[in-house]
Amino acid sequence: MIALDLPAVQRFFDQAPFIVDLGVQAVAAGAGTVTTVLSIEPRHFQHTGQVHAGVMATLADHTMGAAAQTQAPAGHWVITAELKTSLLRPAQGERLVCEAVVIKAGLRLSFTEAEVYAASQGQRKLVMKASATMALVPHKE
């Protein structure tokens, strides 16, 4: 299990090269909850000028995984077994904010949900809802 403090969760994010490349940062963490932000840059856009759905799905997936990891037993990693996303509107703005929570933690599977918001000038718009089933797999330290 990763520690529940924010620096430990950010170190967990820093171990994933793709997440580092995207620019995802953990900004809050607790038992079964993690909040992340991503500053929107032109490299995150698709041809229509909005954030690519894959960027938002990755943000939600890794944030939900981290939330589940905060409740995983020692010696286990959390990996995504199933992921569902629902795009609600185009994502445009200064940054994305993802809030993830564990709905049910289990010994082999955990169920998580997330909301992704596009934020700009103090305003937030819900742009994606996501849910994931996370599998807990043993690993050697």
- Which residue segment(s) compose the domain that 44 sits in? 6-138
Q: Quote the CA–CA distance of 32 and 99 in Å, as a whole number.
A: 11
Q: pLDDT tens digit string along 29-77? A: 999 999 999 999 999 999 999 999 999 999 999 999 999 999 998 889 9
Whether residue 33 is contained in a domain is answered as: yes
pLDDT at res. 12: 86
Q: Note whether 129 and 72 are within 8 A (CB).
A: no
Question: Which residues share a beta bridge with 35?
Answer: 28, 99
Q: What is the pLDDT of residues 14-41, one digit of tens each?
A: 999 999 999 999 999 999 999 999 999 9
* Residue 66 maps to a domain: yes
Q: Note whether residue 39 is domain-resident.
A: yes
Structure tokens at 84: 């569902």
What is the CB neighbour count within 10 angstroms for residue 81? 14
Evaluate if residue 121 carries a pLDDT over 90.
Answer: yes
Q: Does residue 17 sit within a domain?
A: yes
pLDDT at 1: 53
User: Residue 111: which CATH number?
Assistant: 3.10.129.10
Q: Does the pLDDT value for residue 100 go beyond 60? A: yes
CB 130 within 8 A of CB 57: yes
If you average pLDDT over every residue of the chain, what do you get? 94
Q: What is the pLDDT of residue 2?
A: 57
Reply yes or no on whether the pLDDT at 129 is more than 90.
Answer: yes
Please check whether residue 84 lies inside any domain of the structure.
yes
- What is the number of domains present in the chain? 1
Domain assignment present for residue 1? The answer is no
Is the pLDDT confidence value at 141 over 90?
no
